[in-house]
Structure 1
C-alpha cells in the first residue's frame, strides 16, 4: 500500500526534567496527529514507530524507539501517549514517525521530522485560592504554544492587536491568504486647496512642491496681482490652511512668478519667475514667513532666456536654476543652468555638453545628494546629464527628461513623457543607478495617445508618484496620477476626482512623506471661472508591499515548502548575492554566473579563463577533438558553427552549412583585418593570401558604369620612370611584424612610385616604433595595365616596322 501523510501540528504536552524537579510531573506526553493514505484520510489499524533525534535530519537518536502496535486511526486522526524518559534537557528535539499497516511489513519513514517545543503544563497550586488574579496585558514573550482557531471568536483579533512583524510567512498556512483577503490601497481625497482669489487663467496648481511632510507650496503662474500674469505662490499646511501668500517683489505683466517652486531646507522656498524682464527671468528666495532673502538674476541675461523656468535645491544651502532658452555657443535656445549659494554667489555655470539649436538644456533640474546635479537636455535632446557640482559630466542618460528627481545619493528618476511604449507619447519613467545602470522602467498602466505619463514626478522613500496630465479618463485631457514603488509595482491609481476637459490634473505632483500626495490641476474651472486652477491632497493608507525577508525566520522556508514554479527569477531580489543550483554545476556569485566553476570572474564564465567574457571548454569524451558554438534554426537543425568543429582537426572554423548561405564579415562602417588591426582599408591582411586555383581578384568593370573612357598611351615612357627593386625589410619593421622573414623581396619604393602614380600611394596609418610619419603603402595594379599597354605599343611598332620592310622589299623587286 502506498502511504502518504499529512501531520497536523497536534497539541502535545512536553515535560522536561526542569518541570519534573519542580513538581510531580512525569516524562510522558500526548501526541495528536493526522495521517493520510494517498489523498484521503487514513482509517483502520496501523503500527506506528516513534523516535527522538537531536537534528531535523540525520543527527543522533535520543533514547529508544517506541512502537505503538495496533493503533486505531479514524478519519485520519490518532492520539498516542509517548514516554521517552529523560530525553529533554532543554536542547532541541525532533520527533520522527514511521508507519506500516498492522500485521507486518517494513515501516515507511515519514518526513519531515516534527520539531518538539515546550508548552507549560497546568497544575493546581496549593496556594491557588490566595493567588493574585491577572490584570492588564500579557506580553507576547510570555505566551507559547498553539491556540486553536476554534477558540478565537470571529473579529476578536484586529490589526491593532498585532505587533509589527508578528504575522510572517511561516505563520500562514498554504492557501490561507487569497487575493480576496488582501486589502487594496484606497486613496481618498482629503481636501482641495483653495485659490484665495480665483480669476480666469490664474493657473493655480501649475507648480507644487513639498515642504517637509506637512506643508506644500503651490504656484499660480497666471495670477494678476501687480500685473497681467505677474504670478503668485501660496504656502499651505496639510490641513488646507493658508499660511503665507508670496507675491512678485517687482511685478509686471507676464512675469510668470510661480512658474516653478522648490523647498530649500525646512524654512525657505525658492520661486521662479521666468518671464521677468522680457523673459530674461529671475528667481526669488523667501523665508516661510514671507521675507525676501535673495533675488537671483540671470548671469547672462538676455531676452527670452527664461531663467527660473526650473528650480531645485541641493543639500548644503545651494540652489540650481535653469535657463532653458538661453542662446549660447552660436545656438538658439541651447540652454544653460546655474548653481548658486543661497547668499547669491554664483558657484558654477553648467553648459550643454551637446549644444544644438532648441536643445533647451536646463528645462528640468534637480539635486542628487549634496554634490551632484541632474539636468535635462530638454525637448531638443534625448539626453539627461549628471554633473558634479564642479561642472564635470559624470553620466549621460539617453532619455527625454521632462521631470527629474534624485533618490538618495545613488539613484535618479527620469520622466520621459513622449516615450512611445504602448502608444505614441504614452510616456514612461526610468529609475537608474548613478553609474548608468537601468534599475526599473515604469510604463504607463493604461497607455493611450499623448497621455504624457512622466511629465511630472515626485519621490519619497520607496514611492514614486507620476503624473499623466493628458490622460483622457473621464474627459479629454482630464488627467490621472499613479503611485508606484521603486520596483515598478503599481500601488494606486489616483483619478481626477471631478474630471472635465483640459483639467490637466497631474501637471504637477508632490509627495508629503510617503502617504500624502498633492496633485495640481491648473486647467480646472471653478465656479464658472475658466482655468482658475486647483490642487488636491490625497492620503493613502499605510501599507506594506508584501512580507519582507526580515519577517521570515532563517531556515523556515525550504525546498519542500515551495510548489514547483512558485519562485521565479522575477521574484528574486538581485541583492541576494550567491546562489547555486544543486547537481548542475551552476553558480551565481555577485553579478557573475559560472557553469562548472564556483568562482566566476566574468558575466558568464564557462569552465575557466578569467580573461575572457565567455569561455567554452569541452571536457567530455571528445575534449581533444571539438569545442564550438553552434547556431540552430527553428527546426532545430545546426546550420552554422564557430570553433573546433571538425573531430581530430586543429583548425578553427567558421562554417555556414545552410544551402546557398554566405559568410559575411561586416564592421558596419569600419574595417576588417586578418592577422592585423586594420587602419586604412576595408580589408587588410598581414602576410600572403592564396587560392586553390589560379586567378585574380574580380572588380566591377561594366561599360555602363564608366565615363570619359580613354585609351592608355605613353605606356613605355611611363614604365621607364618606375624603378623595380629587390630589398630586405628593416629589423625595426620585422620586429613589429614577426611573421616577415629576413629574405629578399620584390616591389617598388613608395616615394618613387608616388611621383609616377600619385593616386596609387596612400598612408597605411601604421607607424614605426620610433615614431615619425605613417608608413606609405602602394597599389601596384597600374603596372599591370601599363605593362599590357606597353606590349600593345611595342606590337604596333613591330607591325609598323614589318610594313616598312615589305615596302622596301617591293621596291627592290621593281628595281
Structure 2
C-alpha cells in the first residue's frame, strides 16, 4: 500500500471513490454524495447546501507522494445531480458524468435552453491536469519538458487572455536547487506573462511551480523562449520554446472547458451514466434512452423502446467538441440498458447492455464498435 487518498473536504455520505480513473501519475475520483454549492474548478468547499450534487477530485503523484491537484464541480450544481457518477482521464483531459442533471443544452442559436429535461444527464470536460515529473531537473506540464522542447499554449483570441497554465519544476538531484529565476525572451515575449513565480530554492526530490498566461498581441503563430536559471550547471538556463496562436474571433468558451449533450435529449435518458475518454474521443452511455433505432446513426426520434439505451461518440474539432456517432446495438430492444458501461481504446469502443437477453433473461451482453476514418460499425 503506497498511500490512502481522501477528499480535501471529507464528509459523511459523500461516497468519495464511487468512480475512479487513472492515467500514469494522475488519478481522478468521483464523489456523488458531495454537497457543496461550489462551481467550476477549486471552488469553496465549505457550503454543504446542495445535497448529492456530487464532485470529482484529481490527484497527481511526484515520486511516492500524491498531491491534490483539482476539485471539480458542475457549472450549475443541483440537488441529486450525482456529478462524478462516472469519470475518465486521458492525455490530461478529464471527463465527469452527471447522469441526473436536467439541463437540456443549447438551442439552435447556441444559447442555453431554459426548458428542463428531467434526469437527461450531462457530461463535463475539464482541461489538462499536471503530468508526472521526469528523472532529472526539468519543467513539467502535460509532459516532461527538457532542453529545447516546445510547449504549445493553444489558440486564444487577440486581446483575450488564455487561462493560466501551470508548470512544475522538479529537483531530482542530490543537492538543493537554488537561485531559481525565470525570463521570457524573443520577438513575441510580451504575449507570454508570468502570473506567479516559483520558490527560489527547492530541496532535493522536491518541486515548485509557476503560472504563465498567453495573451496574443496579433493573429497567427506567436513564439518566445522561456529561460529557467538555477545552480544546475548543466542546464542553466534550461530553455523551452513557447508557442501559441492568436485568432481573430473569440472562441466560444466555458469556465469548465466544455460540456456535452446528446443529439436527442429526453427526460430520464441518464446521459452520462457511463463515460470514457481516449485522446480526442469521448464516449458517453445513456442506458435509459428510449429510441427504437438500431445500429449506428439511426433515427433517435421514435421513443417506442423504453430503456433500450444508447451510446454517443464525441470528437474534439477546432477547439470544440462535436458528436461523431450515435450508437445502438443491431438487436436493440426494450429494457436492454445498452450504455450502462462504456470503454474506448483508440478506434475501438465497447458498450455494455446489462439486461440484454440473448443468453437468457437479463443475462447481459457487451458490444464492440470499430472506427474506420470517421465511420463506426458494430464488429461483435
| TM norm structure 1 | 0.24
Aligned equivalents of 1:222, 1:352: Cα separation in 2:
32
1:337 maps to which residue?
Answer: 311
Q: 1:228 aligns with which of 29, 51, 54?
A: 51
Output one character per residue of 1:107-142: Cα deviation in whole Å (capped at 9) or x when no partner.
xxxxxxxxxxxxxxxxxxxxxxxxxxxxxxxxxxxx
The question of 1:374 aligning with 2:354 is answered no
- Specify which of 93, 103, 107 is matched with residue 268 of structure 1: 93
Q: Describe the SS at the equivalent of 2:14.
A: coil
- CA shift for structure 1 position 264: 2.7
Partner Cα distance (2:75, 2:12) in 1 = 22
Query: Quick check: 2:355–2:365 contact (8 Å CA) kept in 1?
Result: no
1:325 aligned to which of 273, 288, 295 = 288
User: What is the aligned partner in structure 2 of residue 387 from structure 1?
Assistant: 369
Unpaired runs of 5+ in structure 1?
1-188, 396-815
Over the residues paired in the alignment, what is the CA RMSD in angstroms? 1.6
State yes or no: 1:294 paired with 2:258.
yes
**Contact in 2 for aligned 1:335/1:352 (Cα 8 Å):** no
Residue pair 2:273, 2:285 contacting (<8 A) in 1 also: yes
Check if 1:202 corresponds to 2:14: yes
Give the CA deviation at 1:198: 2.0
**What is the alpha-carbon distance in structure 2 between the residues aligned to residue 298 and residue 388 of structure 1?**
20
- Deviation sequence 1:518-542 (CA, Å, 0-9, x none): xxxxxxxxxxxxxxxxxxxxxxxxx
Q: Distance in 2 between matches of 1:279 and 1:224?
A: 18
Displacement of 1:301 after TM fit? 1.2
The question of whether the paired residues in 2 share the 8 Å contact of 1:320 and 1:365 is answered with yes
1:219 aligned partner = 30
1:280 is aligned, of 120, 128, 141, to 120
> Which residue of 73, 80, 95 corresponds with 1:254?
80
Q: Secondary structure, in 3 states, of the residue corresponding to 1:279?
A: coil
Cross-structure match for 1:311: 275
In 2, the alpha carbon distance for the partners of 1:378 and 1:334 equals 11
Distance 1:383 1:217 in 2: 28
Query: How many angstroms apart in 2 are the aligned matches of 1:314 and 1:218?
Result: 17
Q: Secondary structure of the equivalent of 2:314?
A: strand
Asked if 2 retains the 8 angstrom alpha-carbon contact of 1:192 and 1:240, the reply is no
Deviation at 1:236, TM superposition (A): 0.9
The alignment status of 1:346 with 2:346, answered yes or no, reads no
Residues 351 and 368, structure 2, Cα contact 8 Å, conserved in 1: yes
What secondary structure is seen at the aligned counterpart in 1 of 2:273? strand
Q: Aligned partners of 1:200 and 1:379: how far apart in 2? A: 33
Superposed CA deviations along residues 482-539 of structure 1, whole A, max 9, x for unmatched, are xxxxxxxxxxxxxxxxxxxxxxxxxxxxxxxxxxxxxxxxxxxxxxxxxxxxxxxxxx
Q: 1:328: Cα distance to partner?
A: 1.3
CA offset at residue 307 of structure 1? Answer: 0.5
Contact 1:261–1:270 (CA<8 Å) still a contact in 2?
Answer: yes
Structure with greater contact order relative to length (CA < 8 Å, sep ≥ 6): 2
Q: Which residue of 1 aligns with 2:69?
A: 243
- Quick check: 1:236–1:244 contact (8 Å CA) kept in 2? yes
Q: Deviations over 1:411-464 (max 9, x none)?
A: xxxxxxxxxxxxxxxxxxxxxxxxxxxxxxxxxxxxxxxxxxxxxxxxxxxxxx
For 1:191, the equivalent position in structure 2 comes to 3
Report which of the two has the higher share of strand: 2
Q: Map of 1:17-96 to 2, 5 A cutoff? A: none
Structure 1: distance between partners of 2:31 and 2:338: 24
Kept in 1: contact 2:124–2:256 (CA 8 A): yes
The CA deviation at 1:352 is 2.5
2 CA distance for matches of 1:359 and 1:349? 16
Q: Is the 8 A contact 2:329 2:378 kept in 1?
A: no
Q: What aligned pairs does 1:458-473 form with structure 2 within 5 A after superposition?
A: none
How many residues are treated as equivalent by the alignment?
203
Q: CA deviation at 1:200?
A: 2.3
Distance in 2 (CA, whole Å) between partners of 1:357 and 1:308 is 20
Greater share of helix? 1
User: Structure 2: how far apart are the matches of 1:214 and 1:237?
Assistant: 6
Which blocks of at least 5 consecutive residues in structure 2 are unaligned? Answer: 38-49, 103-117, 130-162, 164-254, 293-303, 358-363
Distance across 2 between alignment mates of 1:319 and 1:284: 11
Aligned pairs for 1:416-815 (under 5 A) are none
Aligned-partner SS, 2:313: strand
Specify the alignment match of 1:537 in structure 2: none
Q: 1:295 offset after TM fit, Å?
A: 0.5
Q: Per the alignment, in what secondary structure is the counterpart of residue 2 of structure 2?
A: strand
Whether the 8 Å CA contact 2:6–2:16 is kept in 1: the answer is no
Superposition deviation, residue 356 in structure 1: 2.1
Secondary structure of the residue aligned to 2:376 is coil
Q: Which runs of 4+ in 1 moved over 6 A?
A: none
SS at match of 1:240: strand
Q: Is the CA contact (8 Å cut-off) linking 1:359 and 1:380 kept in structure 2?
A: yes
Distance 2:355 2:57 in 1: 29
Matched residue SS, 1:248 = coil
SS at 1:385 equivalent: strand
Q: Secondary structure at the match of 1:331?
A: coil
CA deviations on 1:140-174 (whole Å, 9 max, x unpaired) are xxxxxxxxxxxxxxxxxxxxxxxxxxxxxxxxxxx
Structure 1 contact 233–247 (Cα < 8 Å) conserved: yes
What is the CA-CA distance between 1:197 and the residue it aligns to? 1.7
Q: Tell me how far apart the structure 2 counterparts of residues 217 and 380 of structure 1 sit (CA, whole Å).
A: 30
CA offset at residue 228 of structure 1? 1.3
